Amino acid sequence: MPYVANTAEDQRAMLDSIGVKNIEELFASIPAELRLKRPLDIPPALSEMELTAHMAALAKKDAPAGEKICFLGAGSYDHFIPAVVDYVASRGEFYTSYTPYQPEASQGNLQVFFEYQTLITQLTGMDVSNASLYDGGSAAAEAVLMAISATGRHSRVVTAASVHPEYRQILATYLANLGIELVTVETPDGVISPETLAKVVNDQTACVLIQQPNFFGCLEPVEAIGKIAHEAGALFAVSVDPISLGLLKRPGDYGADIVVAEGQSLGSPMSFGGPYLGILACREQFVRRMPGRIAGETVDRRGKRCFVLTLQTREQHIRREKATSNICTNQGLFALRAAVYLAALGPQGLRETAELCLRRSHYAAEKLATDNGFERVFAAPTFKEFVVRAKGGDVEDMLVRASEAGYLAGIPLCMWYEDLADCFLVTVTERRTPEEIDGLVGCLNQVAAIHA
């Protein structure tokens, strides 16, 4: 918003209007020991020209992923975005509109939401999808709350250490004051052990949440996990990579009750980490427990096809404390991008994209594994991400040196996993060519030689 100067005269006028003599009297209710007794330690004021130059210099320190050869992942991916996605999403009627509250408003947006929901149910094998949530992490937490409500079990939720650590942090925050135990099953082999899982899932468990492919890129034994959850009367929630569903079995086909995902890979840029798209779909029996909005199709009084927001009793503005969720808006523009992306690629295009990710990531893994300086950490099958151990040297320094050479080589795992402090996560999407992969391997070999 525009900057408005606050002069001494302005301050005096505001104080007079409030009815206090000075700033000290205004803040008299704040204990003296909590008040700052010195001027703020900030640099001197800059002119507009100096400030513009300073901000430009700061902005240059952040380089978009597209300026380097990107092998980053962990929920934010450098996938190709067809030109039609930007073209449709940038149209003024979509770009400037806000989520409608009234069921009869904005037929264009409601139709987009309806088509998005249809595509998501086809992609996941679920019966119904909402019109999107904030991001993959909050969608995972909302799925767990939904499962707690549906089962009536308020004692235990089980997840795996192979679920994205930031998703688990969000979930822990959601559950912190609800008196619900969050049990995390360790995954020393990169995937959850069904035998270990069975020991902690009981008749008080509301939900088992896993990720497929998981944070390490490995494929979990999903059918065995789902069977364990259902035998205990718990719901089975799965966080998926939407691109992987071009090849992998749909969650609905192996028994998932709730499916969530980070939808950034469906036509949205990495954008330094957001804003992104939260996907949530479920079986029809849980539709009234679903957070967020659902767009439905009907006919108007003239018999013409039209679209409405349906099942609005879930909303805060109607049910208040009885609402199923505090989610009161969505990422409509990014849902639009996902719908255009999926429609543009179609089933065959999505399959081809997934196949390229699979083949090129395996090519990269094999190339790195043949070098004496690196090794694959987990033996489980992977899709487009894999964990690499550097046999010698400081991983974080190695990745910094690779970045200086033009390669965003991966994400260090030391920030989340102590036992993987010498490891990093490498992601290979369809955009990475064999020549770029060869260049990455050569770069990492040179960097490793420095640390040898």
**What is the domain-level CATH number for residue 144?**
3.40.640.10
- 153 lies in the same domain as 298: yes
- 337 lies in the same domain as 359: no
- Which of 314, 342, 370 is the C-terminal boundary of a domain? 342
- 244 lies in the same domain as 316: yes
121 in any annotated domain: yes
- 87 lies in the same domain as 208: yes
Between CA 425 and CA 395 the distance in angstroms is 11
- Which of 287, 314, 342 is the C-terminal boundary of a domain? 342
- 361 lies in the same domain as 326: no
Query: Per-residue pLDDT tens for 261-309?
Result: 999 999 999 999 989 999 999 999 999 899 888 899 999 899 999 998 8
H/E element holding 354? Answer: helix 332-369
- 398 lies in the same domain as 420: yes
19 in any annotated domain: no
- 73 lies in the same domain as 182: no
- 215 lies in the same domain as 297: yes
Judge whether residue 8 has pLDDT over 50: yes
Range name among 30-39, 102-111, 186-195, 356-365 with the lowest pLDDT average: 102-111
- Which of 312, 342, 372 is the C-terminal boundary of a domain? 342
- 215 lies in the same domain as 240: yes
* Spatial contact of 335 and 131, defined as CB atoms under 8 Å apart: yes
Q: By three-state DSSP, how is residue 226 classified?
A: helix
Query: Per-residue pLDDT tens for 356-377?
Result: 999 999 999 999 988 668 999 9
132 in any annotated domain: yes
- Tell me the average pLDDT across 34-55: 91
Query: Per-residue pLDDT tens for 204-243?
Result: 999 999 999 999 999 999 999 999 999 999 999 999 999 9
4 in any annotated domain: no
CATH number of the domain bearing residue 372: 3.90.1150.10
Work out the pLDDT band at 15, boundaries 50, 70, 90.
very high
- 333 lies in the same domain as 361: no
Structurally, how many domains does the chain consist of? 2
Range of the domain at 326: 83-342
Between CA 213 and CA 381 the distance in angstroms is 9
Q: Is 15 exposed, middle or buried (0-12, 13-18, 19+ CB in 10 A)?
A: middle
Q: What is the pLDDT of residue 65?
A: 86
Query: Per-residue pLDDT tens for 128-175?
Result: 999 999 999 999 999 999 999 999 999 999 999 999 999 999 999 999
Between CA 388 and CA 378 the distance in angstroms is 9
Between CA 249 and CA 254 the distance in angstroms is 7
113 vs 109, 226, 243, 250, 288, CA distance in Å? 6, 30, 20, 21, 18
* Spatial contact of 130 and 284, defined as CB atoms under 8 Å apart: no
